[in-house]
């Protein structure tokens, strides 16, 4: 059986937690901060957990990241 390749873009953008959830950076922080309120900017710090539906797609891009 041949090995499966991990998508390099997914490897750089996402991490898998111990419980199997996908951790990702907050969206909407790259540019246009003048338009956003200070509370929006504060809430977008750090990382967030991806939704269950989206994480199914990302998990298929990273076949060896899920152990168990």
pLDDT tens by residue, 8-65 = 999 999 999 999 999 999 999 999 999 999 999 999 999 999 999 999 999 999 998 8
pLDDT tens by residue, 45-55 = 999 999 999 99
**Secondary structure (3-state) at 35:** coil
Could you tell me which of 6, 18, 14 has the C-alpha nearest to residue 68? 18
Query: pLDDT at position 68, please?
Result: 41
For CA atoms 34, 49, 59, 52, the dihedral sign is negative
Give domain limits for the chain: 16-57
CB 28 within 8 Å of CB 5: no
Spatial separation of the C-alpha atoms in residues 68 and 65, rounded to whole Å: 10
21 Cβ contact partners less than 8 Å away, ≥ 6 residues apart: 49, 50, 55
Query: pLDDT at position 1, please?
Result: 84
Question: What is the model's pTM?
Answer: 0.79
């Amino acid at each position: 059986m041949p090995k499966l390749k991990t998508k390099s873009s997914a490897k750089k953008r996402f991490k898998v937690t111990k419980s199997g959830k996908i951790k990702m950076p907050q969206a909407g922080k790259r540019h246009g901060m003048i338009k956003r309120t200070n509370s929006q900017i504060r809430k977008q710090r750090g990382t967030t957990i991806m939704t269950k539906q989206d994480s199914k797609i990302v998990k298929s891009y990273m076949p060896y990241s899920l152990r168990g």
